[in-house]
Structures are given as structure tokens and as C-alpha cells.
A and B are shown apart, each in its own frame.
Chain A
């Protein structure tokens, strides 16, 4: 090494001085430049969404330079010859222009679309990470709710963007949106006529979705994302359990220079993956779909992946419709639209938003948590999460049942019947299996702590028996495992007279007490696993009555 800096170079010191004299930023930087960020690969998943959003803003701005949000009828005479002379909307024609007549336009369009898919995918996996590690617990509930809002808005942002090119595929999506909106009781027709400026499809929807897509929703997203980041910064990141990591500290690398460089590199990776996908994998080839007309639709019309679960819900629904009053004037409730459109989304989004509070109500845990749970150490939460994922996954899969039927040569009708069955059975099964797996993994942890790790050395004892030598686990492995903490539980024990504690005497209180007993407590204590018999005895007679036998 030839040189080391002794003083701040003039080129930086000058402007910094200028700024500090006016803003007083040094005080802030003194506290924050060396802010510690804990390291774990899963902590970067949220950044996928963040960086995808930045890429969306940049590529989206590029697209607005050519895109015409108008449904005016034009005759195409651009470069793509199979559509020459075809009547279409100006929006569709300008999207073709971006694709075939602007250099780099197709690349930017494809990057925008891939980034959109990764934006929601990144949010989803980030959310799952936060959920399964319990990182939403106090004090982070508010940030969790901001996250749920972000996810909901991202779906709306995706839907409005998907509809803009006014091609035959997105038009089918728009038609379904209209069919769902008009099905809502009492307000349905109003919402539809207001949204479309009159009867479907009208001539306004592209312009209106454009305003929502490039201004209103991204504005709110930007504000919420900023709030999300500020809260994360102020509350500091959670960390995985491990050596010298406690609830009162944070162990890791400083923001400047290490974390800054890592985060920058990760932005570049996100950009590179999106650019790579846009180079080698074609997405949303609207020129193949043709212009929109409400008279036509293609086989295999699908929404983008994040809307697939709604599509699947619509597909597996039986044909239920009721006329409340039996008159010819009002009272039609198309349940085969309302239920699949609102219930799965409602269950998932409301469930997500309320989960931290429900968990706190059940466990009575009002402490701050900064050390993440390993998913196995809160088996009921993990099982609920996997169960919800299975519910979502079945709907998601059924959203593609026509492609599955066509490409794997199974009967379309049978995929639907299977879906109607699995939507109830699969989540329950997933719950049971996950719960067992969590307990098994906890037992394995207990074995590692008490017996050590298999060393690979086989020893022959004097009386001829072969055993494998176990060695104690490394310090940090042990610290990681011992970071486990029993799930909190309400004081539910009845007193000597058999009277439950205060607040748990009414029906709701009793339910709460029972749930707390099932959800909380230590299922597999770490240090009591010396003997297998003992271990099983502990489980059988232990706290997890709800699921054992």
C-alpha cells in the first residue's frame, strides 16, 4: 500500500464545509456513517424490491417519452408488418413504436416489465422472511403495516400498468376487472361507470390508468417506501441469534464503507439480472397479441403472476348466484365473482396486517424484540405461514390450470375439481406437516446442544460396540441454537381453587387462554434432550397437547 489518507481531500472538504455550515449535517453523519448493519443474506431480499422500484421509475420515465395514453382509433403503419393496416388505439400503436421504432425501446419495455415482476416477487419473499423470523414484532408492527400497504399498492400499480398498452391480453384482464367491479353489491354499476367514464370499455380508461400508474400510485409508493426505510433506520435492523448478539445490541458491519458498497453492488446485481432477463427472455410481446377488442380473447389469457391467485380463485368457484328479492329490479349477488375476488385477497391482506396484533393478544408478549426467531422455534407461527402460503399456492397454480392442462395433457375439468378439494385440504395438511417438522428440527437442535455433532469418527468400545464420537458444536453454532427463546404465554394457570386468572373467565377470555396455551410455551426444551425416552415423555406430556396424538 502506497498511500493512506491523513486528511479529508480538499475537493470533498470544501463542499462538505459549505453544506455543514448551512445544514449542520456533520452531527447526523457522526451518528450514522458508522451505523451497524447485521449481515444475513435474507436481509437483502427486501432490497430486491427497493432497487426494482428505482429501476421501474427510471425505465418507466423513459417509456413515457413515447407512450400515448389515448384510446383514439388509428390505423397502424409502423415497422411491424403483420399489423400493417390494422385499426387500433393510439396507446397500442405507440407501444408498438416503442418496441420496433425506438432503439433500446424494446429493452426498456422489457426491463420495465421484468422489474415489475421482480418488484412484487422481492416484496413477497421479503415479507415471508420478516414473517417467519418474527421480525414484525414490537417495535416494528407499524413498519409491517406499511409493508402490507406497499404490497397492496404494488398489486394496484401492476394492474394499472399491465392494462396500458391496450393489447388483447391486457384487455382481457381489464374486462375481468370490469366484471368483478360491476358484481359488487349496490355500488357495482356506479364504480364501473365512474371508472370507465360510462359503459365498458369507453375511451377513458387508458388515460385514467395512466394517471394512476405514473403519478398517484408511484407517489404514494415512494412516500411509503421512504417511511419504511426511515423506520428501519431508526429502529435498527433485527439480527439473527448468535455469538454476542443480544436484544440490546446489533452486531455487523458499518454503513460506511462496507454496507454501502454491498448495497450498491446489490443494486447493480438487481439491475444486471433485470437487464439480462430483458435481453434473453421475451416478456409481454404485445405485437403478437394484437389490438384490444371486447369481441375477442385468446386461449391462455393470464394475468401477471401476482394476480394469478385471484384468477385461480375465480376459476375454481362453483356457479353460485342469488337473487335476494326475487324481483327483476335489484338484489343480484353473483357470489361466483364476489367471493373469489374479495375473500382470498381479504384473508391474506387482513390476516397479514392483523397478525402482529393477534399474536401479541394471544401471547401477551409486550416486550421489544430485536433478535429474529428461527422459524422452527415458533412452530405454530411457522405452520400458519406455510399454511397460508399453501392456500395462496393452490390458487396460484389453478390460475394457470389451462396451461397445465394443455401442456401436461390432463383434463381441464379435473384440475378444477382438484383445486376445489385442495384449497381446503392442502393448507390443513401443510399446517400439520410443518408443525411436525418444526418440532423435529427443535429436537435436532436439542440433540446438537446436549450430545454434540457427529464427528465422523467411529470408535470401538472395549466390549465390542461401535459408536460414533460426538464433538461439542462450535461456539457460534451453539450460540445460534441457544438464541432460542420460549414463545411467550399468558399466565393461564388456574389458581388453587380452580379459578382462571382475571381476564380469562368469559368465553373470549377462555378462548384466549386456550390459544395462548397452544401457541406459546416451550415445546422442546434445549437442555432436556439427553435421553430419547425423556425427550418423548417431555413432548407427550408437554404443552403441545393441541397436536400430539
Chain B
């Protein structure tokens, strides 16, 4: 056996290879990220025209459904003129757009590989340039720390829970549609959804529910969804359906097993 073979068969060898491979992947990734940075910096400095970039991305990725000029295609996709940057930001950052297979409702999913903050901003800028519409909210507009959860809770109960449930666990709508779970939605996405009304969701514009009130609602949603369930496992926080299931499947089965044990006749050991 040569020395190399001996090393190769050393118990630690596999770990060493693994670490080496991981390090390599990390370095390659870091190199690519480095390469990407100057472009971002250029964009931030406004050196590249977002609208023009956005238009070319739009033509490439979106126009097959929404039309070459975002005018919409009957029975296929709505017009995007006037929907605003907020709608684009919401739809793309939640992975809903570009849409996948046809379904009663386009689900939240991991964004397509080409979708990132930059491309989203560029397409948003392009769509905004077409006919205005709601803008993406500024970070302090959606900062839960600045909101009043108590007041937000009242508004949330008045306007949101009928579809999204008390804690935003979601619920069913007609014909296979549903109100999604809000647990993954970022504050910006929650805000954008309210002002743009994606898919079946109605619009809550800023002139009737003010931006401050929306921030209160975001404060309530984020506080309640992240708080601990003091009574044990939350059982999905969907109410009595799961509680009933647990009562029967866990509670009653456990007691039936206890009854069987208590009354079992002892078998003679052979």
C-alpha cells in the first residue's frame, strides 16, 4: 500500500475532502459576488438607466403573457399600466411572478433564478414609468417598531382576518382560491399587497387606511406571528379543527391504550 492510498483511507480523509470542497465552493461564490458588486454600485449611482434595463428584462421575461407594452392579453394576463412599482415588487419578490403552471391562484414560491433585488427594481421602474401607480413603501413606512400593535390589531380584525384568519394563518376562498398564510410575508410585501390588491385580494388605498394605520397593522401581524404560543404547540393556530383532531387522535387514543393496559390479561411466558 502506498502512502497516498494510506492517507486516502484514513478515517479523517472523507471529512478533509468535504471541508476542502466546501471551501472551494465558497471561494468561487465569493469571487462571483465580487464580480457582481461593481455593477450594483453602478446602478445605485444611477449610471445605468433602470427603466431601459427594466424594459429589456420585461420584454424578455414578462411580455409573453402581459404583452410587449404591458397592455395585457385578454383571458391571459392583466394590463400592468397603472399598477405601479409596488405591485411589481410584491409579485416578483414573493415569487408569484413570473407565474408557473395555470391554477386558480398563483402561489407564493421561491423567485426565478434571474429575479433579484436589482432586476425587480428595474422592472418596477419600467412599469412605474408606464402609467404611475402605488410606489414601493420606504423602509420606515413599514417598520413594525414604529407601529402601535393594539390599534393595528383592531384594524386587522376589521379588514383582514375574514380571509387571512386571526393570526394570518390563511383560509379558503371560492373555487380553489385561498387567502395565503402571512407568516412569510415581509413588512414591505404586506404593505404592497394592501395598496395594490394582488389577485383576488381587494385594495386598501392610503387615503382610506392611512400609511400610519397600515404600519400599525404590520406591527400587529409581525408581533403576533413571532410571539411564542404560551399554551404549548400552536396546532397551526387555525382554531378548533386541529384541537378536535388532537383530542381524538392523541387524547382518546392514549386513554384507550391505558384502558387496554389496565385490563390486559397477563400472558404466561413460554
Contacts and interface: CB of A to CB of B under 8 A. Distances in A.
A472 interface: no
Given A42-B259, A106-B231, A299-B163, A412 B252 contact: no
Contact of B174 (A296, A301, A412): A412
Given A300-B169, A411-B176, A40 B237 contact: no
Contacts of B248: 121, 305
A82 B241 contact: no
Nearest to A51: B255
A300 B171 contact: yes
A285 B231 contact: yes
Contact of B234 (A39, A43, A282, A402): A282
A412 B240 contact: no
Given A299-B161, A403-B238, A114 B229 contact: no
A293 B153 CA distance: 13
Contact of A289 (B150, B166, B173, B256): B166
B263 A40 contact: yes
A428 B241 CA distance: 27
B220 interface: yes
Given A86-B150, A302-B239, A410 B176 contact: yes
Contacts of B264: 41
Given A86-B150, A86-B154, A274-B251, A299 B172 contact: yes
Interface stretch (A265-273, A380-388, A502-510): A265-273
B178 A83 contact: no
Contacts of A405: 172, 176, 178
A169 B134 CA distance: 35
> What size tier do the contact residues of chain A reach?
35 or more
Interface string A149-165: 00000000000000000
Contacts of A41: 256, 259-260, 262-264
A414 B117 CA distance: 40
B255 A118 contact: yes
A84 B147 CA distance: 13
Contacts of B247: 114, 117-118, 121, 277, 305
A493 to B, nearest CB: 44
Chain B contact residues, majority secondary structure: helix
A297 B175 contact: no
Contacts of A99: 230
Contact of B240 (A39, A42, A299, A305): A305
A192 B127 CA distance: 56
B158 interface: yes
Contacts of B148: 85
A44 B259 contact: yes
Contacts of A31: none
Contacts of B110: none
A295 B258 contact: no
B150 A84 contact: yes
A171 to B, nearest CB: 11
B158 A295 contact: yes
Interface string B160-171: 011111110111
Of listed B167, B233, B244, residue having the most chain A CB within 10 A: B244
Nearest to A252: B263
A340 interface: no
A365 interface: no
A155 B254 CA distance: 23
7 contacts: A269-B254, A277-B246, A285-B237, A289-B166, A290-B157, A305-B243, A412-B176
Given A82-B153, A106-B231, A412-B172, 16 more contacts: A44-B263, A99-B230, A114-B247, A117-B247, A121-B248, A273-B251, A285-B234, A290-B157, A295-B158, A298-B165, A299-B164, A300-B165, A302-B241, A403-B238, A406-B178, A409-B178
Interface of B: 104, 148-151, 153-154, 157-158, 161-167, 169-176, 178-179, 220, 223-224, 227, 229-235, 237-241, 243-244, 246-248, 250-252, 254-256, 258-260, 262-265
